[in-house]
Amino acid sequence: MNRTLLTREFARHNLSRWIVLLLDCSMVYLSGLVACVVNHGLANTVSNLGLILQTMLIYLSPFAAGFLLCGTYRNIFRRTSFPDLVRVCMALAFAVTVIMLLRIFLHADNVLFAIRLRDLILLSLLAVTTICGMRVGVKTLYDLYLRYTTSGGAYGYSERQLIDLEMADLLDRNPIEVDMDEIRAKLSGRRILVTGAAGSIGSELALQLASLRPQRLILIDQAESPLHNLRLELERLYPRTDCVYIVADICNGPRMERIFASESPEIVFHAAAYKHVPLMEENPVESVTNNVGGTRLIADLAVSYKVEKFILVSTDKAVNPTNVMGCTKRICEMYCQSLSSNRPDGCRFITTRFGNVLGSQGSVIPTFRSQIRRGGPVMVTHPDIIRYFMLIPEACALVLEA
C-alpha cells in the first residue's frame, strides 16, 4: 500500500466514541488511585485497596455523565481543538461538584472511602493532564504522520494550495453502507440509461453502475467536456463495460425518442436538472423548461418504451417548496407519481430526495475552497443554520438501493 492510500485509510477510520469514553474513564480511575497514594500514603492505600477500588468505580458514574453532558466527543479524536479541551475541564468540574454533593447530602463517606476535596482536586489535575495530553499527542502524531508521508506540509499541500479535507472526516459519523451484492444481482446484465451523467451525482452513479456489470450503460449529458472526462475515467476503471456516451439535451424530444428506440433501456436514472437556487430564481423559464419539461419528456418515453423502473433524483427543497427550483422538482415528483404503475408490464417510478451532498458541484466545500484561495473570508449562510450532509458515493448507493 503506497503512502497516499495509507494516508487515506488513516484519515477515514475513526475511533468509536464509546472507546474514547472508556479510555477517558480509565484515565480518571488511574488518576484517582494515584491521588490516594499521594495524599494518604502507600501503606494506607494498600490496606484500604478494596474499598478504594469500589469507591472509585462508583464515582466513575459522575465523570462519565460529565463527559457525555459536556459534549466531549463531538469532535473526531485526531481533530482535537481548544474547545474540546475546555469541554474536558468542564466535565471534570461537573463530576467533582456531584461527588461533593453526594458526600455532603447523602453522607457517602459512611459507606465509601472518604475521598476528600484535595483528593478530588489532585485527581482532576492528573486526569485533565492525561486526557488532554492523550488528545494533543494523537493530534500531533497525526499531523507529523501527514507531514512526512505527503508532500508539501502537514496536510499534504503547499502554502499555495488548499487543504484537501477528506470528506468522510467532515461527516463526524461512519459512512452509510448498502448491500451492493443485492443491488448487483438486480442490475447486472441490464440496459441502464442515466441522464445528467456528467454531473456530480450522475457521474458517481455511472461509476457505481459500471462496477455492477450492466449489459449496456447509456450516458446522456449536454456538457461535452465533463462527459468526455467521465468517459476517460470509465475506460480506465472499467474497460470491459459497454458504455454509450451521448451529448444531447433532454428537452430535445425527437433526439430523446431516437435514443429510447435504438437503445431500449430497461432502467432509467434521471439525474439531469438545473439545481442552483439563485440562478433558477433569476431564470424561472429555463428552470421550468428543463426540470419540468425535460422530466415530463423522459418520463413519457419511459412509459411508451416499457422501461421497468424510472428513478427520479429529486431534492429536499421539493418539500413545501419556497423557491422556483424546489417547485419545479415537486412538480416532477407529482408527475412521475401520476404515471407510476403497479402492473407487471408497467413502469414503476421511484423518487429519491437529496439533501446537502458534500463535494458536489456548487456545494459548500468547493465554495469554501474558492473563498480560501482568494484569501478569505470564509462566508456561511447563517451561523445558526443546521444542515445534514451526505457523501456523493453514499447518496448514489442509496439511489441504487431504491
Domain match, 85 and 9 both: yes
104 CB-near residues (< 8 Å, 6+ apart): none
Domain match, 131 and 243 both: no
195-235, pLDDT tens digit by residue? Answer: 999 988 888 889 889 988 999 999 999 999 999 999 999 99
State the DSSP string of 170-238.
HHSSPPP---HHHHHHHHTT-EEEEESTTSHHHHHHHHHHHTT--SEEEEEES-HHHHHHHHHHHHHH-
Whether 122 is covered by a domain: the verdict is: yes
Domain match, 142 and 186 both: no
Domain match, 137 and 222 both: no
Domain match, 115 and 185 both: no
- 182 grid coordinates: 443485492
Q: What percent of the chain has pLDDT over 90?
A: 46
Domain match, 209 and 123 both: no
Q: Which residue has the higher pLDDT, 354 or 115?
A: 115
276-299, pLDDT tens digit by residue? Answer: 888 999 999 999 999 999 999 999
Interval 238-264 mean pLDDT: 95
Domain match, 73 and 198 both: no
Cβ of 322: how many Cβ atoms within 10 Å?
Answer: 10
Mind spelling out the 3-state secondary structure of 245-276? EEECCCCCHHHHHHHHHHHCCCEEEECCCCCC
**Separation CA 60–CA 115 (nearest Å):** 13
Whether 166 is covered by a domain: the verdict is: no
Domain match, 144 and 182 both: no
Domain match, 79 and 208 both: no
**Separation CA 236–CA 147 (nearest Å):** 31
Q: Which among 131, 149, 167 is the end of a domain?
A: 149
As a dihedral over the C-alpha atoms of residue 368, residue 370, residue 375, residue 378, rounded to 10 degrees, the angle is -20
Domain match, 53 and 125 both: yes
- 234 grid coordinates: 470509465
Domain match, 216 and 120 both: no
**ω before 321 within 30° of 0 (cis)?**
no
156-184, pLDDT tens digit by residue? Answer: 444 434 344 455 555 555 666 666 777 77
What value does the mean pLDDT of the chain take?
82
Which pLDDT score, from 0 to 100, does residue 386 have? 64
Q: What confidence category does residue 6 fall into, taking pLDDT thresholds of 50, 70 and 90?
A: very low
Whether 172 is covered by a domain: the verdict is: no
Pairing of strands 348-354, 191-195: unpaired
Interval 67-74 mean pLDDT: 85
Adjacent-strand bridge partners of 192: 217, 267
Which pLDDT score, from 0 to 100, does residue 303 have? 94
Q: What residues are labeled active site?
A: 317
pTM as predicted: 0.57
Question: What is the number of domains present in the chain?
Answer: 2
Whether 169 is covered by a domain: the verdict is: no
Domain match, 237 and 385 both: yes
Q: What confidence category does residue 136 fall into, taking pLDDT thresholds of 50, 70 and 90?
A: confident
Whether 164 is covered by a domain: the verdict is: no
What residues make up the domain containing 88? Answer: 3-149
